[in-house]
Amino acid sequence: MTSAGLRIAAAALAAALACGAGTAASPQAQALPGKGEAGPWVLSAPPESYERDGLFGYIDGGAEIFLQYRFARLDLGRYELAAEGTKKEITCEIYRMGSPLDAFGIFSVKREGSEGASPALPDPNIFDAGQASFVRGSCYVNILGTGTSAPEMDGFARAVVQRLPAEGDDPLQAIARLPREGIRPRSERFIKGELAAQAESDLLSDPRWKFAAGTTAVSARYGEPPSRLVLMEFADDDPERPAHIWDLFIEALGRAEIRDGVVEARNAAGSVILFSARGRTGALVIGRSGPDAARRPLAQAFR
């Protein structure tokens, strides 16, 4: 094998070890670009690696939500331009999560939905002159630039993509069950664990939703003004769930009623809150518009 072939094989092996499903990566098996593998960018310090306990030392106050998406390892590289006199820097974070869906989940709860995107990177992604974030296999990649241009970030991000295998199931299959009519682009999320649920809505922090016990959800925003639909798969089959959620609405919002199997209430801001369940599937709508507009995504959720 030629020297170029050996380098390609070594890079592929490093990436597979770093983000392959169920594989524990060694510190030497980095998916981070090395010298000459990301244009003029070179490592300004030795790569850093963090596993579960060490993540708290790197992300002050924000590590717990990563653990709820089955975080396994972070490989971190700090880069600078090889040319003298430049002050441009890149920090590349590659988080290996439990599955492609977990990687999409942590990506989805970190975005606002209004960010820019690049057609050159895996879909979905966030992209501008100072940040590139995307999902590749079981990896969530977050690249931050200081003083960088969009072409510089694009070149570096594409070099990272080439080193990561696109293995595992397509995580976007999980959000395919969200109704498409009226959906706001890039608003989809995969919600797993209590912290992500609470970040979606304070109502979802209540233990009756059972996010700590395995309930998961996908969510998106619809229409203008936007209504939020949260489509849940519950951890168990509870025929009394609408009554439990009615109790929750009474406690949290002061008033609620059940009509045609739909629990309805309003919050202090006047938003309409609707909930309905069929077996282990439940749908929660928080709408800034009237009840009729809020009921449309609710009806579409069960088609």
Mean pLDDT, to the nearest integer, of 87-115? 94
Q: How far is CA 165 from CA 109, 118, 133, in A?
A: 23, 19, 16
Q: Which of 258, 201, 199 is nearest to 229 (CA)?
A: 201
What confidence tens digit (pLDDT) does each residue in 128-180 have? 999 999 999 999 999 999 999 999 999 999 999 999 988 877 888 889 999 99
- pLDDT at site 74: 96
What confidence tens digit (pLDDT) does each residue in 57-99 have? 999 888 999 999 999 999 999 999 977 677 899 999 999 999 9
- pLDDT at site 100: 94
DSSP per-residue string spanning the chain: --HHHHHHHHHHHHHHHHHSTT-PPPTT---S--TTSSTTEEESS--EEE-TTTHHHHSTTTHHHHHHTT--EEEEEEEEESSTT---EEEEEEEE-SSHHHHHHHHHHH--S-S---TTSPSSEEEETTEEEEEETTEEEEEEEES--HHHHHHHHHHHHHTS---S--GGGGGGGS--TTBPTT--EEEESHHHHHHH-GGGGSGGG-GGGT-EEEEEEETTTTEEEEEEE-SS--TTHHHHHHHHHHHHHS--EEETTEEEEE-TT--EEEEEEETTEEEEEEESS-HHHHHHHHHHHT-
The second-level CATH assignment, the architecture, of 178-301 is 2-Layer Sandwich (3.30)
pLDDT at residue 24 is higher than 60: no
pLDDT at residue 11 is higher than 80: no
pLDDT at residue 291 is higher than 80: no
- pLDDT at site 68: 96
Domain spans in the chain, listed from the N-terminal domain onward: 3-162, 178-301
Question: Could you tell me which residue, 13 or 292, shows the higher pLDDT?
Answer: 292
Mean pLDDT of the chain: 87
- pLDDT at site 30: 67
Question: Could you tell me which residue, 300 or 76, shows the higher pLDDT?
Answer: 76
pLDDT at residue 3 is higher than 60: no
Q: What is the residue whose two structure tokens read 């016990």?
A: 213
Mean pLDDT, to the nearest integer, of 118-123? 94
Least confident stretch, 93-102, 152-161, 203-212, 255-264: 255-264
DSSP per-residue string spanning 176-238: GGS--TTBPTT--EEEESHHHHHHH-GGGGSGGG-GGGT-EEEEEEETTTTEEEEEEE-SS--
Q: How far apart are CA 109 and CA 69, in angstroms?
A: 11
Choosing among 3.30.70, 3.40.1000, 2.60.120, 1.10.1200, the CATH entry for 3-162 is: 3.40.1000
Highest mean pLDDT among 117-131, 162-176, 284-298: 117-131
pLDDT at residue 102 is higher than 50: yes
Mean pLDDT, to the nearest integer, of 99-106? 96
pLDDT at residue 40 is higher than 80: yes
State if pTM tops 0.85. Answer: yes
- pLDDT at site 28: 35
Mean pLDDT, to the nearest integer, of 283-298? 81
